[in-house]
Chains A and B, each alone.
With several copies, the nearest count.
Chain A
Amino acid sequence: MDDLEDLYREIILDHYRSPRNRGELPTPPAHRTEGFNPLCGDEIVLTIVLDDDVIEDVKVDGHGCSISQSSASLMTGVVKGKSIDDAKGAMRSFKRMMTVADEDDPDADEPIDVRKLGELAALQGVVKFPVRIKCATLAWNTLAQALVEMDA
């Protein structure tokens, strides 16, 4: 059951038990976007405030498994305070790690330097569990959706 421990690393369990940036920001000024994983019922509510090109604040609420919730928590830690471009860069790297790189990602076939992913690398074990990839990417897809809705 080694790969099970690879999936449920301590850092993931920690973010699951104690999610960072949990809750909803008031709308307005925040923008609010919902994400669903229709197959398992996971739901993410993402509220986000932009200041020019910077993600000033972001919170997530919702419910789901340890992978979807810890991934959301980890994501907020990575993107909060970052520029939108940096956030999109992190998103691309993460999706490449999850083997679901977008068609328009020019570096889709590049090897991933996991060290650059920081804490996100904790989710690396997920790729061995294809069904769970959707859990890990839910928050990121919801963020992408929010950015599209905000024309950012």
Chain B
Amino acid sequence: MKRFDPERVRHDVPELRRTVHGLEMAYLDSAASSLAPSSVIEAMSRYYERTHTNVHRGVYQIAEEATEAYELARRSVGSFIGAPHPDKEIVFTKNATESFNLFARAWGASVLGEGDVVVLTEMEHHANIVPWLQLKEERGIELRYLGVTDQFRLDLTRLDETLAGASLVSITAMSNVLGTIPPIRRIADAAHAAGALIAIDAAQLVGHAPMDVVDLGVDVACFSAHKMLGPTGIGVLWARAELLASMPPFLGGGGMILDVKLDSFKPADAPHRFEAGTPPIAEAVGLAAAVRYLRSLGMDAVAAHDLELTGYALERLGSQFGDKVRVYSPQDLVDRGGVLSLALEGVHAHDLAQVLDRHGVCVRPGHHCAKPLMRRLGVPATARVSFGPYSVERDIDALLGGIEHALGMFG
């Protein structure tokens, strides 16, 4: 496996050149949003400086160029995740959350009714819970949850029971709180055996590890560009071509129709059927640049780098603080990514993050949009540490110094 030098990545990321409170920034919040390399920022600037106009409806030179850039982004994102038919399967949304809502509304609301079962897990992000709760409210679907073990793994002991009679399993491919990566392929096979579809929340996985939707055996995947070195304002829904083609439209407007009369309309084919209005064009260009950048690092190497840092952090936290720091994450490096959640004895996560800020360390305190998981863990909030390809050991060293300070202050 080719490895990359994280210092070179740091050099590519302009934001890491700034200081906070006079210190080098130790950005340990990539799970919230990653920092963009200059190739991504410049791709978008260049788009606005040379090519920008609306897509799909012009015949003039720049309209063709803009359309081509947009559709090329669809293809490059598709090929990045191993989509068999990118042109028919990739829908650009505004974020992973919209992707889930689109899927829940277009597929869910047209197929599911009273008593139909959707299986989630207790480690889901709200983006993969609330849309289903809305369907529960409106259409009476039933939600079942796979639990979380005390080792912060998905509890699969009752998998087949839970799947029995289900229509869909919608499940995170990597927990944004624990870092846990569930065995998607195994769950996908079980889901299909039970006659259910499987959707994955790939928001945390896609920018951090190799991912192939065919190898995973899934039917739907949702993710956001801003967590994979790309821009804000764009997300992706991938769904198998036949599944997507079978789904009725969600948002209505220009670009998603074949015809509109005063009393009726005919929707266009997928994926355009799901892209109402002017799409995030510059953002698609930025996302394509992010994919290019990630490919140049090598996704195996990106995953290995995250794990190396995770191992270092686990080891140092344990040896330096012992029981004073609880780690809500698998303690080994198997089937996990570069995310770990901390809780300090006597120091609320919010206060820890505040003290860390003065050390130049950026970590996120709170429930991380996973309140059901926080209830399961029995902790109101954690301070989450997460890595990107620009993260280095001295970020973790700065974290350790800040924890020391916080413990002293509140102890």
Question: Which positions in A face B, CB cutoff 8 Å?
Answer: 1, 4, 7-8, 13, 16-17, 36, 38-43, 63-67, 69, 129-132, 135
Closest partner residue, chain B, to A8 (CB atom): B409
Whether the pair A39, B380 counts as a contact (CB closer than 8 A) is no
**Binary contact track B340-376/A, C-beta < 8 Å → 1, others 0:** 0000001011110011001000000111000100100
In the assembled complex, the CB of A119 is this many whole angstroms from the nearest CB of chain B, namely 20
Whether the pair B68, A40 counts as a contact (CB closer than 8 A) is no
A66, A67, A132: residue with the most chain B Cβ atoms closer than 10 Å: A66
For A1, the chain B residues whose CB sits under 8 A away are 358
In the assembled complex, the CB of A142 is this many whole angstroms from the nearest CB of chain B, namely 12
Closest partner residue, chain B, to A63 (CB atom): B380
Q: A129-B354, A131-B67 are in contact. Are A38 and B380 (CB under 8 A)?
A: no
Q: How large is the interface on B (under 10, 10 to 19, 20 to 34, 35 or more residues)?
A: 20 to 34
Whether the pair B354, A40 counts as a contact (CB closer than 8 A) is no
Interface residues of B in 156-204 (CB under 8 A from A): none
CA distance A69 to B347 in the complex (A): 12
10 A–B contacts, CB within 8 A, in A order:
A39-B56, A40-B57, A40-B367, A42-B350, A63-B380, A65-B381, A69-B348, A129-B59, A131-B58, A135-B350
For B346, the chain A residues whose CB sits under 8 A away are 17
A41, A65, A131: residue with the most chain B Cβ atoms closer than 10 Å: A41
- B257 contacts the other chain (Cβ, under 8 Å)? yes
Whether the pair B64, A36 counts as a contact (CB closer than 8 A) is no
Closest partner residue, chain A, to B349 (CB atom): A65
Whether the pair A64, B354 counts as a contact (CB closer than 8 A) is no
Closest partner residue, chain B, to A135 (CB atom): B350
For B358, the chain A residues whose CB sits under 8 A away are 1, 4
- B410 contacts the other chain (Cβ, under 8 Å)? yes
CA distance A7 to B410 in the complex (A): 13
CA distance A136 to B348 in the complex (A): 14
In the assembled complex, the CB of B32 is this many whole angstroms from the nearest CB of chain A, namely 12
Interface residues of B in 371-387 (CB under 8 A from A): 371, 374, 380-381
CA distance A7 to B354 in the complex (A): 10
Question: For the complex, would chain B's binding face be called helix, strand, loop or mixed by DSSP majority?
Answer: mixed
CA distance A21 to B50 in the complex (A): 45
Q: A65-B350, A131-B64, A132-B354 are in contact. Are A39 and B366 (CB under 8 A)?
A: yes
In the assembled complex, the CB of B364 is this many whole angstroms from the nearest CB of chain A, namely 10
For B348, the chain A residues whose CB sits under 8 A away are 64-66, 69
- B259 contacts the other chain (Cβ, under 8 Å)? yes
In the assembled complex, the CB of A72 is this many whole angstroms from the nearest CB of chain B, namely 13
Q: A131-B59, A131-B64 are in contact. Are A38 and B350 (CB under 8 A)?
A: no
- B268 contacts the other chain (Cβ, under 8 Å)? yes
CA distance A11 to B408 in the complex (A): 16
Whether the pair B259, A66 counts as a contact (CB closer than 8 A) is no
**Binary contact track B6-49/A, C-beta < 8 Å → 1, others 0:** 00000000000000000000000000000000000000000000
**Which one, B59, B259, B354, contacts A38 given CB within 8 A?**
B259
- B130 contacts the other chain (Cβ, under 8 Å)? no
CA distance A129 to B353 in the complex (A): 12
In the assembled complex, the CB of A73 is this many whole angstroms from the nearest CB of chain B, namely 14
Whether the pair A36, B68 counts as a contact (CB closer than 8 A) is no
In the assembled complex, the CB of A144 is this many whole angstroms from the nearest CB of chain B, namely 14
For A63, the chain B residues whose CB sits under 8 A away are 380
Q: A63-B380, A130-B64 are in contact. Are A41 and B371 (CB under 8 A)?
A: yes
Interface residues of B in 50-97 (CB under 8 A from A): 56-59, 63-64, 67-68
- B258 contacts the other chain (Cβ, under 8 Å)? yes
CA distance A7 to B371 in the complex (A): 28
In the assembled complex, the CB of B82 is this many whole angstroms from the nearest CB of chain A, namely 18
Q: A38-B258, A41-B366, A43-B380 are in contact. Are A8 and B57 (CB under 8 A)?
A: no
Sample of 10 more A-B contacts, CB < 8 Å, known A65-B348, A130-B64 = A7-B354, A8-B351, A36-B266, A38-B272, A40-B57, A40-B381, A41-B371, A41-B381, A43-B380, A69-B348
**Which one, B64, B266, B366, B410, contacts A40 given CB within 8 A?**
B366
In the assembled complex, the CB of A129 is this many whole angstroms from the nearest CB of chain B, namely 7
CA distance A1 to B405 in the complex (A): 11
**Which one, B63, B350, B374, contacts A64 given CB within 8 A?**
B350
**Which one, B57, B259, B409, B410, contacts A36 given CB within 8 A?**
B259
CA distance A60 to B358 in the complex (A): 31
CA distance A54 to B266 in the complex (A): 32
CA distance A66 to B346 in the complex (A): 10
Whether the pair B354, A4 counts as a contact (CB closer than 8 A) is yes
CA distance A36 to B268 in the complex (A): 10
For B355, the chain A residues whose CB sits under 8 A away are 4
Whether the pair A13, B354 counts as a contact (CB closer than 8 A) is no
